[in-house]
Structure formats: C-alpha cells, structure tokens
Chains A and B, each alone.
Chain A
Amino acid sequence: MLRRTFLMLTTSLALACAGSQANAACSPDYTGVTLTVASQTGPYIASALKLGADEWAKKTCGKVNVVEFPWSELYPKIATSLTASDATFDLVSFAPAWLPDFVPYLSEMPKEMQSGKDWDDIEPAYRERLMVWEGKIYSQSMDGDVHTYTYRTDLFSDPKEKDAFKAKYGYDLAPPKTWKQYLDIAEFFQRPDKGLWGTAEAFRRGGQQFWFFFSHAAAYTNNPNYPGAMFFDPETMDAQINNPGWVKGLEEYIRASKLGPPNALNFSFGEVNAAVAGGQVAESIGWGDTGVIAADPKQSKISGKVGSAMLPGSDEIWNAKTKKWDKFPSVLPGPFMAFGGWQIAVPKAGKNQKAAWDFVKTLTSPEVSGQAAITGGSGVNPYRKSHTANLQLWSKIFSPEEAKEYLGAQSDSINAKNVALDMRLPGYFSYTEVVEIELGKALAGQTTPQAALDAMAKEWNRLTDEFGRAKQLAAYRAAMGLPPKN
C-alpha cells in the first residue's frame, strides 16, 4: 500500500514538473488561446500573418487562425463585424485609409508598446503619421508602402539601346526624373513584335487602380508651398481633384495605359508584377513587391537585372491656394505613400485583447517582419529602419547593386521631404468609388480627363457636405499632419 502511494506521489510530482516546464516554454503563456485575424486572401499579407502566427505559437503556445477574404470583400467584412460589435475577429488587418472609419471600434495600443528600441526602429512616416489618429495609436504598421519605380537594368545598360534612345529623344537613357521621361522610355521600348512593352500599371476597377493614378498626380499636386492640399484645400475642404495638376496626371496615366501589354486595362497589381517578372515590360511603377518578385529567380525571368528608383517628379506643381503653377529650380521627386502599408489593430469587442496585442508585437518585431520583408509574395515591404539598413538580410534575394538601389529607393521615398501621404478620411470608400468609376470611363475613352475629374470633384464635394464639412476638414487636416484649424 505504502509502495503504491509512493509511486502515485512520484508520478504526480513528475507530471507537475513536466507541466511547469512546458508552461515555462510559453512566455507569456497563452495556451488554449486562439486568435482570429481578418486578412486579405493570400499570399500577400496572409502569408506574413501566418509567418508571425508560427513564431507567436512557438513563443506563447497560443494559436492564430488567419481568415482570408478577397481584397474587395475585406472592408465590408471588417466594417460589418466592427459596427455590430461582435467578437468575430480578435485582430483586423486593413488599409490605413480605413482607420478613420474603424477608430470608434478599436482599442488603443498599450502604452508599453509605444516606447523602446523596437518602437523607435519604425520609420517616422509610419510611427508618427500613418499609425496616429487624433493623437492616439490604434494600429500598428505591419507593412510599408510607397510607390517606387522598377526597371530592367539589362535594357537600360545596353549600349545599342542607349545610343538609339539618345538619338531619338536627345537625352541619356536612365531612370526617369520626370513623368515625361517615363513616358518617353515606355514609348521607346514599345515593341509588341518582340514581346516587349513599355510599362505596366494597374488600370482595372477594383485592382488597386486609383493608387497608380494618384502616383502620377502627386508629382503635380503635392505642393510644398501649400502642404496637404493634394486632395482637398486644407482651408475649405473643397475638392482639388479637378485642378490642372490632376488633369495632367490623368492625361499621363491614360497615355501609360496605351504603352503597356495588350489589354493592360484589365491589369491589377498582380498582373503588373507578372508582367515585370515575365520580362514583358521595360519599366513599371508600384509597391516594393514588384522588385522583390522580379529579383526572385523562382518567380522571375529578369532576376539579377532589376533596378529601382524613386518615382518621377516635376519642376512645376499646381498651387491650390494661388491657383497657379509654381515653378521650382529643379525637379522635385514625387514619392507617394500609396495605400500606406497594411496595418493591424485589435477591436474593442475582442475577447483576447492582451494576447492580440502580444501577437502584434511578435508579428511586427524587427526579426519576424524583416524575414517577411525579404520573402517574395509576403506583401510586406520595408517599414522599419532596420529593414533598409540591413544589407546582409537582402543579399539572400538581391545582388549588391540591386539591393542598394532597391533599399535606397524605399528609404529615400519614405524619408523624402515632399513625400505625399495617401488620403485618409471617414467615408473613404464613398470617395474612392466615384474615382474608380470615372477613371474607368476616362481610360475607355468614354469621357475626357477634365470631365471625369469634374465629376469626381462634384461628388467629393457632395459627400463632404453630407458627412459634415467641418468634421471632414478636421479629419483631413489630422490625416495630412496639419494642426487643427481654429
């Protein structure tokens, strides 16, 4: 009897020790906790979330369930869940532009996460601007997004091409400084008989189209003499989308659509990347994914021949205040933080908020996010200083020259003085829907650029009045980093 009792006691002690050792491996211990994250359909972003989920599971013994929705369905799914205050999602990943709509339903980031080495490592453009709404932090950037320029170095360095280009256009073939040069290059390489086209951009409704248009227009409308006036006049909230700067941007965007592969009008960003990686185009603009995918020998035919640069700019920018073109002594590059990078946040209605923020911490840590940034198709582009500083990290996919250009373009764009921020406003989808519709008409030649932009401006002004001009003005100024208006 005594022997049996001793045996039972020993077994119990052994089990208890084993248990405590297992729990010690889970720090903090979230055994039994399953977090549900809303994401767009993979691989973009969803695969990065899964990478973070694996790391978090190893660290905390918790589980993360990534629920994927097509891009066009993501906003309604998240918005429906948030406005119903249900606890369907413990975390939501979304575009910064949607933040104003979601803020009333999100929990604030814990103060302890808003300081320290990892916090300071986030690029100021995200940490101090895109992650902030009315002075508070409700979300964490998990991706950095700025449009940059990608080109084929083999074509640009070919002496025959260089000579022929100079003979035709009178200047050297090199990454373009202006949008006119960008279109010249596209025209020069437009050779359908050889399976080569000038450029690739997204033109399809619902295919990230309007960000490409905004990138063209940013060069002519983001005036440093009157900051924050790209989309609306920050004094009156009058729509600016039909001013001459926007007209010029749209005319050039339409011209670019004719210098792409056949039926480029049906291109979304995915098709742009396929065209670039397939060696079909000489140049392109888009997010950082383009360069990473094009450099990957498994996915690309132009691996080792990928060049990057900042977006072209202009030496003439429309001034919304004086209603005149301002002339600058030299060309100002026109980087545009298109989309602004995916963000992740924790809804107030979530039942595992502490665990959810802990997951955010792991997901966006320099180590995990750095790994995601160099993984082609993860959708994660540099948003931390350590991402662009660590050349060693990027040597896995880029040659030294490619890495230097790619990281230089990313870093210079994000940190440029005149970087244009994307629009962030309550009722974002109402504003962008009319842009998509009218862009479709203008691209199809059903209406003139000016008429399309006038229709957008009319609807934007109507929406602003409907939502409350003063309220929208305050939100717009906050989004553009301007002080509140007295």
Chain B
Amino acid sequence: MMRNDPIKHVFIWPAVLVVLAISIFPLIYSLTTSFLSYRLIPPIPPRVVWLGNYGTLLQEPRFWNALFTTTLIALIAVGLQYAIGFGVALALNARVPGERLFRVALLLPMLLAPVAVALVARMMFNPTMGPLNQFLSQFGLVNLPFLTNGHWALGCIIAVEVWQWTPFVILMMLAGLQTLPEDVYEAAELENASAWQQFWGITFPMMLPISAAVVFIRLIESYKIMDTVFVMTGGGPGVDTETLTLFAYQEGFKKFNLGYTSALSFLFLIAITIIGVTYLALLRPHLEKRR
C-alpha cells in the first residue's frame, strides 16, 4: 500500500469516529453543560451562567473539604500500599517457604469487588455486632466509634483501601524485582555490601521507574474512590469522609444538578491533572538520572 493510497481513510476514519463518539463528544457536551445552570429535577430550563458554576464551587467549603479528604485518603493509602507492597514483594522475591501460596493468597483481596469488600468491612466495623469491637472489648477498649467518628471513619476507609490494593503493588513490584539482573548483586556481595546497602544502592534505584508507574496508577485510582466510601460511611458523619466523586454523585444523581456536577467534574479533572503533572515533574530528575 502506498503512503497516499486513499484506502487508508477506510481504516482510519471508523476508528477516529468511534473515538470522537465515545470520548470527545461527551467531553465537549459535559464542558458545555458546565457553563449552564441546568437541573433535571425539579426541571429548570438551561440558562447560560458561563463560569458561574465554577465560581460557586470554588467558594463552596464542601468542595474544598471533599478535595482535602480525597487527597488525605489517596496520599496516606498509597504511601502505605507502596511501603507494605514493596516489603512483601521483596520477601516473596527472596523465595521464602510457601511463597507460591502466599502469592496467591495475597492477591485475593484485589480480585474482589470494592463494593463487596466495603460491605464486609462495614460488618467488621459494626459498633455493636462487629467482631472487631468484640475482640477489642477483651482488652477493655469498649465500642470504638469506627464509623461514627470522622477521624476513625477516615482511618477505617484508608485501612480497607490498603488491604484491598496492596496486592496490586505487590504484583507489580514482584514482577519488577524478578527482572533485575543477578550479576549486579553478585558483584555487590563480592564487595561485602550489606543487605541494606544492596537495597538502597541497587534495588531501590533500579526499581524507581516501575515504582513511579505503580504509585502514579494507584494515586489516580485512589482519587477516584467512591464505592468504598459510599457503602461504609455514605460520606458521613456530616461530610467528614465525603470524597470528590461522592460529592459529584450526590449532586448529579441525587439532586440532578447537571450544570454544577459537570463543573465539579472538570475541576476534579484539573485537580488530578495538576497532581499528576507535579508528581511526574518531581520524579523526572531521578528518572532521567537512571537512563
């Protein structure tokens, strides 16, 4: 086939149209809606307010609270997932006895639906009937307010996130560890480098690219947390555990405030983009050093 063969259009345009139809047009529609005051219930005819929705949102304490809560959950949960995940991956890579069994068992949480995990967690943290409080009462810690106090509830959500998604980090890090060359470690051993020195001098720097990717994926995913919070606390008490996606859901699917919700979604997109770009900018010097 020649470069200017018109047949190329037959192959390219269907794909372009599909991408436009399922991605670009809804995005443009959503952006347009964000400039409108538009409610389905009660039905109010759309009215152009330009940046009015954005202005209202930026002055809305609930938006900033949701952004703060989401960031807190994402940073703490991903930090813990990375630390624990990397540690477990190192242990599994060291060929501990029963490694295969551990590998399968540790992956199970990731295979479960977040809604199911959140439901089980809600039962576990149930103040009166939950096994956790019953267990803790043996040590004199009576009825801890797991889901009825804002700080405790945030801690519980983070704990569930860590439990469920650490296996993903383990999987990725283990795959990375298994590709590291053996000879570098043999050379380090000849130089009498301790295990700690080997980790900081060889393993960690060589694992940096994959670490950066894993943390980036988990960070973006964590910002989208919705189902776990929805089931465990519904955003409460008050709005103490309300995340950005849950806030958007409440506005969009409970109040059918479409213009406002579209603006919220775009602000969310902007926030995620800023976080992603900052993260990559911070890591770039270290990653470039590796090349």
Contact = CB atoms under 8 A, between A and B. Distances in A.
Our verdict on whether A and B bind, yes or no, reads yes
B254 A205 contact: no
A350 interface: no
Interface in B4-51: 39-44
Interface string B250-285: 100111110000000000000000000000000000
B147 interface: yes
Given A204-B236, A263-B143, A444 B149 contact: yes
Contacts of B239: 437, 440
Nearest to A280: B128
Contact of B236 (A205, A467, A471): A205
Interface residues on B, range: 20 to 34
A430 B255 contact: yes
Contact of B256 (A83, A438, A471): A83
Interface size class of A (residues with CB under 8 A): 20 to 34
B201 interface: no
A201 B208 CA distance: 53
Contacts of A104: 43
Interface string A433-467: 10011101101101000000000000000000011
Given A262-B127, A263-B128, A467-B42, A427 B255 contact: yes
Given A263-B128, A433-B254, A205 B42 contact: no
A27 interface: no
B236 A429 contact: no
Nearest to A438: B238
A100 B43 CA distance: 11
Interface string B226-249: 000000001111111000000000
B148 A265 contact: yes
Contact of B254 (A429, A443, A467): A429
B150 interface: yes
A440 B238 CA distance: 4
A205 B253 contact: no
A262 B141 CA distance: 13
A466 B237 CA distance: 27
A261 B238 CA distance: 21
B237 A443 contact: yes
A80 interface: yes
A101 B42 contact: yes
A313 interface: no
Contact of B255 (A80, A429, A438, A440): A429
Given A204-B236, A441-B238, A433 B255 contact: yes
A206 B255 CA distance: 15
A266 B127 contact: yes
Contacts of B212: none
A277 to B, nearest CB: 14
A430 B147 CA distance: 24
Interface string B151-174: 000000000000000000000000
A329 interface: no
Contacts of A440: 236-240
B276 to A, nearest CB: 30
Interface SS of chain A: helix
A470 B133 CA distance: 52
Nearest to B236: A205
A157 to B, nearest CB: 28
A11 interface: no
Interface string B126-154: 11100000000000001101011110000
A261 to B, nearest CB: 6
B142 to A, nearest CB: 7
Nearest to A432: B254
Contacts of B44: 466-468
Contacts of A436: 236
B147 A266 contact: yes
Interface centre among A101, A104, A427, A471 (most CB of B within 10 A): A427
Nearest to A475: B42
Given A262-B142, A426-B41, A444 B238 contact: yes
B235 A80 contact: no
Interface in A160-216: 204-206
B126 A266 contact: yes
A75 interface: yes
A354 to B, nearest CB: 28
A96 to B, nearest CB: 16
A466 to B, nearest CB: 8
B68 to A, nearest CB: 15
A79 interface: yes
A72 interface: yes
Contacts of B253: 76, 80
B237 A205 contact: yes
Contact of A263 (B145, B150, B235): B145
A100 B42 contact: yes
B237 A79 contact: no
Nearest to A266: B148
Interface string A362-392: 0000000000000000000000000000000
Given A104-B43, A262-B128, A427-B41, 20 more contacts: A79-B40, A80-B253, A83-B256, A101-B42, A206-B234, A262-B142, A263-B127, A263-B143, A265-B237, A427-B255, A433-B254, A436-B236, A437-B238, A441-B237, A444-B149, A444-B150, A444-B237, A444-B240, A468-B44, A471-B42
Interface of B: 39-44, 126-128, 142-143, 145, 147-150, 234-240, 250, 253-257
9 tightest CB-CB pairs across the interface, nearest first? A263-B127, A426-B42, A440-B238, A205-B236, A262-B143, A441-B238, A76-B253, A265-B148, A440-B237
17 contacts: A75-B254, A76-B253, A79-B40, A83-B256, A101-B41, A205-B237, A262-B128, A265-B145, A265-B237, A266-B127, A266-B147, A426-B41, A427-B42, A437-B239, A440-B237, A440-B240, A446-B150
Interface of A: 72, 75-76, 79-80, 83, 100-101, 104, 204-206, 261-263, 265-266, 426-427, 429-430, 433, 436-438, 440-441, 443-444, 446, 466-468, 471
